[in-house]
Structure 1
Amino acid sequence: MVSLQLKPNFLAPDVDEVGSKRDDYVTTNETESAFVFNANHNLPLIEQRKRLPIYKYRREILYCLEKNQVLILVGETGSGKSTQLPQYLYELGWHTKGIIGLTQPRRISAITLANRVATERGETVGGSVGFVVKFLEKTSDATAVKYMTEGILLRELLTDPLLMRYSVIVIDEAHERNLITDIIIGLLKKVVNKRPAIKLVISSATIDADTFADFFKANSSIILSVEGRTHPISTFYLNNPCADYVKEAVETVWKIHKKEGQGDILVFLTGQEEVLQAVSLTKDYISSHDDNTLQALPMYGSLTHKEQLKVFFAPEKGVRKVIYATNIAETSITIPGVVYVIDCGFIKLKWFDSDSATDQLVVVPISKATAMQRAGRAGRTRPGKVYRLYTEEDYEKLPDRFPPEIRRCELSAMILNLKALGVSNILKFNFPSPPPAKNVLAALETLHALGAIDSDGNLTKPLGYFMAEMPLPPMLSRMLYMSGSMGCSEEMITIIAMLQVETVFAQPATGQGQIKARVAKRNFEVAEGDLITMLNVFTAFVENEQSKQFCRTYYLNYRNLNCAYELREQLIKLAKKHLNLPLKSCNGNVETICKCITSAYFLNAAYLHYTGVYKRIQGGQDLHIHPLSTLYTLPQPQYILFTELVHTTKLFMSNITVIKEEWLSELSSHYFYKTNV
């Protein structure tokens, strides 16, 4: 292993003013020593680049990549690996051999990094530096450095299996071990075996380098380690666990704002609902104290691009930003000015149960690696402070890291992509971490039931290939395909777009506001269920010219509705240009829409048991209607189906549609048949 070590100066971390005056926090040092860097944002960009740790060792990095086909780059947070490495490759002339491609796990990471690199080069995005993310692209024929999400690279592998247009591929933030990350790394191993000229860089701040070194041991590979630019970080824990970490986070924000010096605050929460609740509570604090020196901003994945970029803009003079974010802000994204980090200690993860064939979204405690990653956001430009809303004893009990996503999620979409790439035997495919065989079997059974593969495991024509080409989960892809022949494709595209964003119904923090929101929701609710209710909401939104006032009146989330509108337009373009899908409307025939939903989600059907709970037809699990569902307060229908299960105190069904029993045998006769017992 080659290790490039910087020589840091050593400083004792600052004494925390808030921590010394609060009774419920104790303090410890997260970083005993740190590289001291006096950032000067008034310096020219070239001078700022030279002060990054990676700059000093650019020759060694380029030499190792020149002599080896695979470079595993362990660069700590702040080292500059995400922005500087592609520029070094460009300056050395690698772009003349092909595009320099860099993948990111999230849209916003790819967009912001491309903007940063373009700015450093004195250009606008779309010239020599561009990006491609789902439904958004800024590239040109001159683009030599391309940032993209991992899903985009997977799509490119479908059309160009050897990536002949590329000279270097950089897989950034590989430590997250997303499902697509592991698929791509497995596919890239085949590419580097077939194309000795292509170079591969696997980069991360907390990567398990030895795992990937063993995986690529047959290839010419090397591990490089570069220390990052991390300032001293003081870490504070709660003395006692808190009952509500959202409220505790908001209270901690307010105390930091009142007692601490300059610097913005970044708060990590688990999902959009918690983020919006925290923003609302903070605004209540600001209003009740008549304090205009604090600005609360949300940050989550389904937020529109324009709204996401607001967190990067400097606030007015004398105003402090507080950003409430999901794990989207853990890696790659550096929000300028952040000095204080508040970590709730939890994260949302998908977990697949092969016995019940359900992919459940569960809130679980974070891992130590995630906690370290979140803490690293505080020490990017100056000494920072981290407030963990859990005890130090609880931190010691956390796992070192989570299992890779490929070992804990539903695999049907992954298998569909691999089948489209010509991988016939999934079990023999070389994964960095092989998935459980029972999960693979469950996914193959699901795809066979959906008609995407035949009894020999090959993609069917045209349905299987259609589903593989669509950037959607298999059930949604089948639903869109069936809508063409059933004459309701326009409605299905709307429903699919609405399912891609989080809830469109606002959830006020006050009790009176919640009552008004519930009453307003009744204007759209129908007995057929949540998906038809979503369709009604979107239709009314468009008929009212996408008005913010309309959303305020009916307690709707304007951001999410606007995002759904943009996604719908992109889906229509995709359907017209590539898939030859006929765009038809059923003109309000609700039964046709419900039948089309049933034709795709029949695996998720449930019936009302005589005990008063719902039983899933496949598996027989006890299921319950989610309290936020349209059907929660209505008489219970006999047969329903759902798009997602949420596991909290019970297994709750969300996005429910009411169906008729005979539709199951009519639309999925290969799977269901009626019998007399």
Structure 2
Amino acid sequence: MLPGSPPRRHAPAAPCARRALPIFQARGRLLGQLRGLDCAILIGETGSGKTTQVPQYLYEAGIGRQGIIAVTQPRRVAAIALATRVSSERTTELGRLVGYSVRFEELSCEQTRIKFLTDGMLLREAIADPTLRCYSVVILDEAHERTIHTDVLLGVVKAAQKARRQQGRAPLKVIIMSATMDVDQFSQYFNGAPVLYLEGRQHPIQIFNTKQPQSDYLQAALVSVFQIHQEAPSSQDILVFLTGQEEIEAMSQSCRAIGRQLPAGCPRLLALPLYASLPYSQQLRVFQPAPKGCRKVILSTNIAETSITIPGIKFVVDTGMVKAKKYSPASGLEVLALQRVSQAQAWQRAGRAGREASGVCYRLYTQEEFDKLDRMTVPEIQRCNLASVVLHLLALRVPNVLTFDFMSKPSPEAIEAAIEQLDLLGAVERKEDQLVLTPLGRRMAAFPLEPKFSKTILMSPKFHCTEEILTIVSLLSADSVLYSPPARREEVQAVRRKFISSEGDHLTLLSIYRAFKNVSGNKDWCKENFVNSRNMMLVSDIRAQLRDICVKLSLPIESSRSDSTNVRRCLAHSLFMNAAELQPDGTYSTLDSHQLVAIHPSSVLFQCKPACVVYNTLLHTTKCYMRDLCVVDADWLYEAAPDYFRRKLRTARD
């Protein structure tokens, strides 16, 4: 519906599937309540239909017709899948009435009236327009996940609501939605906003806990899968929650190996992995029905925890574990570590079993262990590096980031540590006791990237390697372009050998991208070289967008061609806070916090011992691993930030 066109007060004839959703019974009452409210908290159990139906009900009733109805999601996969589903329900082409916007990918037009976005994308739009003028309704979905972007967005939409009221503009309606969350905290934050409850889960779910704590949750998951497989009808599929790609691929292999040894008459078992960096065509396989006489076992990260309905799931196996970021402002270390889920996450996972029929959830932990879990997930904003957040807030011209209206305030130490990092990157300065962005900081905020990567691009003209840095940063901004099935490890290593650079992972990725471009993205070449062609195409799109930003900023774009030294020097000058040095005993220690770290087995430098490296991230499993490494010269690091390293040396001596 175009702005100004007459509202459609009647609902179109809802297809049977839409009418069958529990929310359909509440449609009239819900619209009556939402029409008169500026802000509401909507709690509806998993499977009630709130995510797909509420935006459509608002549109059909003419509520918010003067602008766009925004629906935010924590993950890009969910935003795209939901937009596809809703446009299909409206029988319109995706990108017209219903569109989406995720990082580096947008499908919408002037006619779009329902738009699914990742919360990070709506936040970027707010930098250009803090009152979110083109939106009439903002629905913040899956609010219980409390991602770093969601929490900042809560403050931004609250401020936008207030500003629009003061300016006498059309009000902004805000709806917070979830299946499980701390309603009192959300209601209080939005000045006593009413809480609306949607009745009833779609189907009942039985929950079983283990009688004893499990020392090996992977083994317990495998045993559970095959117990279900041998007892339940083959038409009933299983969803297993694991923590990451390596675990999922290893268990897929085990499932296939054990499946081949099952006695005759036992149904076939189809093990399907699901994680963010999996090729898109393989992600889609989880939504397709299994062949007759065959059972799907989907092994997934928490990507399957929210919003997306996978058909056929009857059983959920919840290991109770998740991989989450943890940041220590004191040491400056941000690591990806394994940890227990919260009770809210556990309920979300269980809810996946009751989407189409009654279901069963097996929790691989005792009831007593469940009772000890945190009730809600600790908001990401309280356990993450806040450099990006502070940069965003300053770009939004927030007068004092320390007093910004966060629903869950991060510690002052975490904010101060973020300010110090931005200061070291040259992004901020103090003017008359106020923190403001420097001209460099403002340019950094123009990129939808972590500050260290924005700085890398902005540093690149000094080293005459902008073309190469754009490629490297784009490769690091997309999900992995390399696909390494464990069953074919030797074959993978053999084909990758020709791309490997002794100077590290960044240069190896650059070499793979150049080869991909030389064959014009040929899909057979991608298959032969275990390269994820869809992710590589996305890298090309990201690169084009980042290059456009460089052009708008009048950044000279040069290539260093075969000279990799300048590329490595540029990386050293922007990633100097993520540096580690080889010790006499053969271990590595980070230069800033003297944390003991090791090279991750997936790195091309795994068998090498370079004297000095910079890395992108630390992953904490059995020990602290550095991922995505580049060999650098220690002198380049000191050259990049002499005061910083002098101070670190002094601290170490003290």
Aligned length, in residue pairs: 625
Q: Tell me whether 1:570 sits opposite 2:542 in the alignment.
A: yes
C-alpha distance in 2, partners of 1:240/1:157?
49
Cross-structure match for 2:567: 593
Equivalent pair of 1:230/1:376 in contact (CA under 8 Å): no
Equivalent pair of 2:267/2:295 in contact (CA under 8 Å): no
State the 1:579 CA deviation.
Answer: 4.5
Write out aligned runs for 1:371-410 (5 A): 371-410=346-385
Cross-structure match for 1:649: 622
Amino acid at match of 1:162: T
Q: Give TM-score, length-normalised by structure 2.
A: 0.89
Cross-structure match for 2:250: 277
C-alpha distance in 2, partners of 1:244/1:479?
42
Say if 1:276 and 1:285 are closer, same or farther in 2 by CA, change over 3 A: same
Cross-structure match for 1:330: 305
C-alpha distance in 2, partners of 1:504/1:355?
34
State the 1:252 CA deviation.
Answer: 3.1
State the 1:331 CA deviation.
Answer: 0.9
Give SS of 1:454's match. strand
C-alpha distance in 2, partners of 1:234/1:267?
16
Write out aligned runs for 1:113-124 (5 A): 113-124=82-93
C-alpha distance in 1, partners of 2:269/2:601?
34
Cross-structure match for 1:538: 513
Amino acid at match of 1:59: G
Q: Tell me whether 1:139 sits opposite 2:139 in the alignment.
A: no
Deviates more, 1:202-211 or 1:132-141: 132-141
Give SS of 1:602's match. coil
Cross-structure match for 2:467: 490
State the 1:667 CA deviation.
Answer: 3.0
Amino acid at match of 1:382: A
Give SS of 1:372's match. helix
Amino acid at match of 1:443: A
Cross-structure match for 2:579: 605
Give SS of 1:482's match. helix
Deviates more, 1:609-618 or 1:68-77: 609-618
Deviates more, 1:371-380 or 1:300-309: 300-309
Amino acid at match of 2:365: Y
Q: 1:80 aligns with which of 49, 55, 65?
A: 49
Cross-structure match for 1:65: 34
C-alpha distance in 2, partners of 1:508/1:201?
42
Give SS of 1:362's match. strand
Cross-structure match for 1:366: 341
Deviates more, 1:545-554 or 1:590-599: 545-554
Q: 2:182 aligns with which of 186, 208, 220?
A: 208
Cross-structure match for 2:404: 429
Write out aligned runs for 1:482-521 (5 A): 482-501=459-478, 507-509=484-486, 513-514=488-489, 517-518=492-493, 521=496
Write out aligned runs for 1:167-246 (5 A): 167-196=136-165, 197-217=171-191, 221-242=193-214, 244-246=216-218
Cross-structure match for 2:437: 459
Q: Tell me whether 1:164 sits opposite 2:129 in the alignment.
A: no
Equivalent pair of 1:493/1:568 in contact (CA under 8 Å): no
Say if 1:382 and 1:447 are closer, same or farther in 2 by CA, change over 3 A: same
Equivalent pair of 1:546/1:562 in contact (CA under 8 Å): no
Equivalent pair of 1:131/1:139 in contact (CA under 8 Å): yes
Equivalent pair of 2:147/2:379 in contact (CA under 8 Å): yes
Amino acid at match of 1:249: A
Cross-structure match for 2:23: 54
Amino acid at match of 2:25: K
Q: Could you tell me which runs of 5 or more consecutive residues in structure 1 were left unpaired when the two chains were aligned.
A: 1-43
Amino acid at match of 1:623: V
Say if 1:515 and 1:110 are closer, same or farther in 2 by CA, change over 3 A: closer
Superposition RMSD in Å:
2.6
C-alpha distance in 2, partners of 1:467/1:307?
35
Q: Give TM-score, length-normalised by structure 1.
A: 0.86
C-alpha distance in 2, partners of 1:423/1:487?
35
C-alpha distance in 1, partners of 2:493/2:84?
41
Say if 1:68 and 1:501 are closer, same or farther in 2 by CA, change over 3 A: closer
C-alpha distance in 2, partners of 1:317/1:338?
15
Deviates more, 1:151-160 or 1:303-312: 303-312
Q: Could you tell me which runs of 5 or more consecutive residues in structure 2 were left unpaired when the two chains were aligned.
A: 1-12, 166-170
Equivalent pair of 1:505/1:521 in contact (CA under 8 Å): no
State the 1:225 CA deviation.
Answer: 1.1
Cross-structure match for 2:239: 266
State the 1:161 CA deviation.
Answer: 1.0
Cross-structure match for 1:622: 596
Deviates more, 1:148-157 or 1:289-298: 289-298
Give SS of 1:143's match. coil
Cross-structure match for 2:5: none
Amino acid at match of 2:548: K
Say if 1:96 and 1:273 are closer, same or farther in 2 by CA, change over 3 A: same
C-alpha distance in 1, partners of 2:91/2:523?
37
Cross-structure match for 1:32: none
Equivalent pair of 1:613/1:624 in contact (CA under 8 Å): yes
Say if 1:94 and 1:552 are closer, same or farther in 2 by CA, change over 3 A: closer
Q: Deviations over 1:497-535 (max 9, x none)?
A: 33235555555546xx54554555544333322222222
State the 1:283 CA deviation.
Answer: 3.3
Amino acid at match of 2:477: Q
Say if 1:540 and 1:247 are closer, same or farther in 2 by CA, change over 3 A: farther
Give SS of 1:494's match. helix
Give SS of 2:335's match. strand
State the 1:608 CA deviation.
Answer: 2.7
Write out aligned runs for 1:88-107 (5 A): 88-107=57-76
C-alpha distance in 2, partners of 1:567/1:506?
15
Equivalent pair of 1:282/1:296 in contact (CA under 8 Å): yes
Equivalent pair of 1:497/1:565 in contact (CA under 8 Å): no
C-alpha distance in 1, partners of 2:534/2:98?
28
State the 1:604 CA deviation.
Answer: 1.5
Say if 1:503 and 1:54 are closer, same or farther in 2 by CA, change over 3 A: closer
Give SS of 1:630's match. coil
Counting aligned pairs with the same residue, the percent is 40
Equivalent pair of 1:94/1:100 in contact (CA under 8 Å): no
Q: Tell me whether 1:310 sits opposite 2:282 in the alignment.
A: no
